[in-house]
Amino acid sequence: MKSTTLHPDQLFLGNSDQAWNYYQHAMKQSEKALKAPFALQTKPFSGISVAELNNLINRWDICPEEGTPIEEVLEQVGSSIIQHTMVVHDPNCVAHLHCPPLIPALAAEALVSATNQSMDSWDQSPSATLLEERVIQWLAKLFYDTSDCNGVFTSGGTQSNFMGLLLARDHYLKAHHDWDVKKRGLPPFASQLRIICSEAAHFTVKQSASLLGLGEDAVITIQTDSKQQMCPHDLERKLETMLAAKHIPFALVATAGTTDFGSIDPLEAIYTHTKKHHMWLHVDAAYGGALQLSTSYRNRLSGIEYADSITVDFHKLFYQPISCGAFLLKEKKHFQLLKLHADYLNPEEDELDGIPNLVGKSIQTTRRFDALKLYVSLQVLGRKGFAHLIESTLHITQYTASTLAHHAHFEIKNRTPHMNAIVFRYLPKHGDINGINLAIRQHLLASGEIVLAKTKVKDEVYLKFTLLNPRITETDIDHMIHLIEQIGNQFDQ
């Protein structure tokens, strides 16, 4: 049967048997498209070259005149696309903050799509609006002990960091200069405004400064110490210099879990400075925020409760499918800075009637019901289940760090990792150390055996393990280290 002839009663969910039969058939085919290639996979990447993959994908007519039955389409997707995806659940896929998603979240994801609620207004998402609000309340209370805390789901850390700096800027200018940025744009003295972060902070801090019209040069970076944490002495020195130059430092972004090292800035020490200078403290806990679920490790985040705003990503160490993140505020009232009224979405009379329209808390309009997947995961695993997953990855990271530290052919850069990321390199006897480490990573990616990340520390090439996957065992680590050493030896002739 040509799909072109499918009736709308079959193409859209409803209460007809036709629709349910077609839905079940389609979902079954989608499961097959996943299962067949996954069953054959023995490594994180097929190793196909860019050129070969291009050829494969360019063969198709993207929008044919006539449709094809879904079983054929999904079979082709399985054998050509899914076959060459990065296998995020493979223990040798250790490059980025890129997690295997929890199965309960995958089930919830199907419901999020099927119901297609949009979080911008009550009349597009009644139960979803209230559930997101409850999940956010729980989350905000996980970090803050105030009753005013609040937040909103976001597409991830990029958006959450941007929101933090947007509110920081607008709040500062309103409170200290009686200047309404939303109405008037930037003030005449905007070029004096400064944002502070460490040199290990995420690039989205600079990106936000640029998007906010302040420019990347408005970001002053503070040196990190030997543990890759923001150095409070350098912070103090740079603050003095800024103030002497009549610059206006209005926000500081501390990082809880830097992208390379997973290092956590000294939040309490930093807070004494932001408080003294009336600066907004934003903590980018996109990666590290998950430690708050662990009674054994949450003390690593102590001081986070002082933050005016916090970024948390769920598509990292909360094992949620992309995308899923949150932006949290210590004081709900700051959301007022974002608010606008659209007569068609959140008219003022709704507010008087107590109808919540979440559009006022977000910089997105149409927005997914991502809270459901986190909710379902939390229900199924419980806090302890999550804590156990996270703690097991920290233990395996400790094992990896000590194995590398005792290995003559390796140098490890963070011997006592704060999170589950390890920066290291192979030490050749003869050859060029940077060239060989680059070659090791490239070789392993091309063969698909291990997907490792590379990074630079003071212009030197390093390799990186990001050990998010709770299924990684000591045997997997031993195997990877052995393979990296073997390849290194081959290049070091």
Ligand X SMILES: *Cc1c(COP(=O)(O)O)cnc(C)c1O
Interface residues toward ligand X, by CB under 6 A: 97, 156-158, 161, 202, 204, 255, 257, 259, 284, 286-287, 313, 325
At closest approach, how far in Å is the CB of 208 from ligand X?
A: 10
Task: Give the C-alpha distances (Å, rounded to integers) separating 343 from 120, 126, 135, 350, 351.
Answer: 13, 18, 27, 10, 12
At closest approach, how far in Å is the CB of 252 from ligand X?
A: 15
HSE of 378, CA atoms in CB hemisphere, 13 A: 14
At closest approach, how far in Å is the CB of 286 from ligand X?
A: 4
Task: List the beta bridge partners of residue 248.
Answer: 193
Q: Which residue, among 46, 316, 35, has the nearest Cα to 160 in the 3D structure?
A: 316
At closest approach, how far in Å is the CB of 181 from ligand X?
A: 23
At closest approach, how far in Å is the CB of 95 from ligand X?
A: 13
At closest approach, how far in Å is the CB of 164 from ligand X?
A: 11
Nearest residue (CB) to ligand X, 364 versus 434: 364
- Distance (Å, whole) CA 310 – CA 203: 16
Say whether the peptide bond before residue 118 is cis (omega within 30 degrees of 0): no
At closest approach, how far in Å is the CB of 316 from ligand X?
A: 6
Nearest residue (CB) to ligand X, 229 versus 346: 229
- The single-letter DSSP state of residue 230 is B
Other C-beta atoms closer than 10 Å to the C-beta of 396 total 22
At closest approach, how far in Å is the CB of 370 from ligand X?
A: 12
Q: Which residue, among 327, 337, 330, has the nearest Cα to 360 in the 3D structure?
A: 337
- Distance (Å, whole) CA 295 – CA 338: 35
Nearest residue (CB) to ligand X, 294 versus 346: 294
> CA end-to-end span of the chain, whole Å?
61
Nearest residue (CB) to ligand X, 164 versus 448: 164
Tokens 């598509």 label which residue?
315
**198 burial type by CB count under 10 A (0-12 exposed, 13-18 middle, 19+ buried):** buried
- Distance (Å, whole) CA 34 – CA 28: 10
